[in-house]
Amino acid sequence: MTSIAAVSSYLPDTVPLASLQEQVGLSDVQLRRYQRFYGLADVCRDEGGTETDLLLRAAAKLTELRGQEQRVKYVLQARTMPSPLPYPLTSVGPLREELGLGHAAGFVVSHHACASGLLAVDMAGMLLAADDDPDALALVLAGEKACTYRTQSIPDVTVMGEGAVAMLVSGEDAGPNRMLGYAARTHARFHSDFILGGDAAKDFQAQYLPGLCEVIVTALDEAGCGLDELALVLPHNVNRLSWMGVCKQLGIPMEKVFLDLVGAAGHCFCADPFLNLQHAQELGRLRPGDRYLMTSVGLGATFSAMVFEH
Amino acid sequence: MFRTTAPVRRRGAGHAPDPATAVPRLVRAAWRTASGPGRAYDPAEVHEDFLQEAADPYGVEFRRDLFAASGRRTSVELADAALRGLGPLDGDEAPEVVVVAYATPDFEHGELVAAYLKHHLPGEPLAFAVSDQGVLAPFTALRVGVEYARRGGLRRVLLVVVDQSSQPYEMPSSGRDAVAEDSAVALLLAWDGGQEASLGGFGLGPADRTAPPPGEVVRPLPGLPCTGVWAALLSGTPASGPAVLADLDESRGQAAYCTVDVGEWRADAGTR
């Protein structure tokens, strides 16, 4: 079994989307569309922090890690961008040292872009289940910088935020969030670049709804869970509009989709569904026995869904 | 599509230890290198502002002189050359899991190697990358690839390991992090252990507690952080039976070893 035993999040201070208009390169019409239809309003940014700082700030709030460091066998960082730090610098190295996890194996999981977070949770549970030690844990981290022109937005889709998460994952049925099913599909014809243009962008737009619905239905099937059994959907926070289409297609009531952070944080790379988990738990939106769905879509292009029981 | 339930623990926690282990078989392998100047450098095409912006928080300076003098071959090009070295992979030989391993990023290009490889392979393999673990990333890639095969009842795993020598910043000039040339290795592995056997002959952890078994051990060639240990195997005297490969990451204080059965691997007929 794979379970998320604990989750913490770090949301930096926000800035109004309008203040980023020139920086992101939005026209007045685009800005209004982002605000009125996409539901984007404030974006969280940590001006002075590096990627390593963001992840450390999330991990510092993971109180369940304290005193359990020796149980942590793996540190997995899920990352959208394949190359954000000058070689040979990494975030994983300093994180292991700062958190007292120098004994743990640490590495980055990527190339599912923003869907790499769900892959990292699955991978962590798989490695732990294959080991001898049922008490062992994995620390899974996600969160990235949006500090460059090329990484701060997906044109005509969303604006990136710098929220980060830290999670303890168990290979046992030991946590409050038990994974039941997972589906991921990479539509590799979109491999050529992160930011698509022209016909490729139109093709991706056409693929988006069926691609996302396909993995949702498949993950639910693996979990033995019906759509009507879902208490909550913890989505990727790209925008509100895209979820209206998914909900209409699958018959999911919009009120079941946790969209609180779309307008309060922006799209935080791989961290979105886990940020939503932490906030939904904090708000009491999940009760014992509730089944819920996480989703992510990564440019490149990977669609992923994962079903949990709380 | 990759689809799964949660993995099931089979060992420990009151269960009898599972004594059955297996090692992956190396079926095909190819190693390609490239050096010297590549395409002409055009600042207008290189997004120099991005390269400087990305490095600023770490106090690192963008070095146009170094970058312009480098080969600037894409990591996709390097991986593709190694993949082609394997020859056609059809039907029963097509991999079901593809894992890319690297330490050296490709800063200039947004193309994802794992997605590229999937696009050029038959079938629907699960494809992803592991990195940021220095010289030990390919060992993790092998472990994770085999675990996905084992869990899903799959049989073939493709590892593609890339060392990218074109970096827009000053690189280490010595030690295991130094990169002497572009290099990529493609390894097609068969997993015969099914879902019951565990991965044998593998270890990754603190250097003082992680040692390969006694006997002959393949050690890495210098100047090739991630491909070095595989390049040593592929360029050495053809062996038969199990081969043990090991590497040490002094900066992280960690070491790793793995074992592959090389008794039947088909030699790459291409040139480096």
The DSSP string of B105-141 is --SS----HHHHHHHTSSS--EEEEEESSGGGHHHHH
Domain A3-170's class? alpha beta
User: Which residues 253-282 in chain A show a CB within 8 A of chain B?
Assistant: none
Query: Is B235 within a domain?
Result: no
Taking the C-alpha atoms of residue A177 and residue A291, their distance in angstroms, rounded to an integer, is 9
Which residues share a beta bridge with A182? A306, B4
Query: Is B65 within a domain?
Result: yes
Q: Is the pLDDT of residue A220 over 60?
A: yes
CATH code of B151's domain: 3.40.47.10
Q: How many CB atoms lie within 10 A of CB A164?
A: 33
CB contact under 8 A, A2 and B110: no
Chain A residue with Cα closest to B105:
A83
* Mean pLDDT lowest among A19-23, A31-35, A173-177, B14-18: B14-18
Enumerate residues 6+ apart whose C-beta is below 8 A from B231: B31, B183, B185, B220, B221, B224
Chain B residue with Cα closest to A89:
B132
The answer to whether the CB of A31 falls within 8 A of the CB of A17 is yes
Axis-axis angle for helices A116-130, A272-282 (nearest 10): 80
Enumerate residues 6+ apart whose C-beta is below 8 A from B53: A147, A148, A149
Nearest Cβ partner for A180 among B6, B114, B147: B6
CATH topology of domain A177-309: Peroxisomal Thiolase; Chain A, domain 1 (3.40.47)
Nearest Cβ partner for A105 among B2, B127, B140: B140
Q: Which helix (H) or strand (E) holds B253?
A: none
- Taking only the tens place, the pLDDT of each residue in B184-227 is 999 999 999 999 899 999 999 999 999 999 999 999 999 999 99
Which residues share a beta bridge with A25? none
Q: Which residues of A touch B177 (CB under 8 A)?
A: 87-88
Domain of residue B44: give its range: 22-197
Per the structure, the count of domains in chain B is 1
CB contact under 8 A, A83 and B13: no
Give start-end residues of each CATH 3.40.47.10 domain in chain A: 3-170, 177-309
Q: Is the pLDDT of residue A44 over 60?
A: yes
Q: Which residues of A touch B153 (CB under 8 A)?
A: none
CB contact under 8 A, B12 and A148: no
Taking the C-alpha atoms of residue A4 and residue A281, their distance in angstroms, rounded to an integer, is 12
Taking the C-alpha atoms of residue A2 and residue A118, their distance in angstroms, rounded to an integer, is 12
Which amino acid, B126? Answer: L
Model pLDDT, residue A51? 95
Give B184 to chain A, closest Cα distance, Å: 17
pLDDT band at B11 (very low <50, low <70, confident <90, very high): low
CB contact under 8 A, B115 and A300: yes
| CA-angle at B34, arms to B33 and B36, nearest 5° | 150
| Token representation of residue B213 | 């078994």
b or e along A229-248 (b: 16 or more beta carbons within 10 Å of the residue's beta carbon)?
Answer: ebbbbbbbbbbbbbbeebbe
CB contact under 8 A, B6 and A93: no
Q: Which residues of A touch B247 (CB under 8 A)?
A: none
Q: Is the pLDDT of residue B14 over 60?
A: no
- CA distances from residue A111 to A234, A269, B127 in whole angstroms, order as listed: 22, 13, 8
Which amino acid, A246? Answer: V
User: Which residues 124-183 in chain A show a CB within 8 A of chain B?
Assistant: 125-127, 129-134, 145, 147-150, 171-172, 178-183
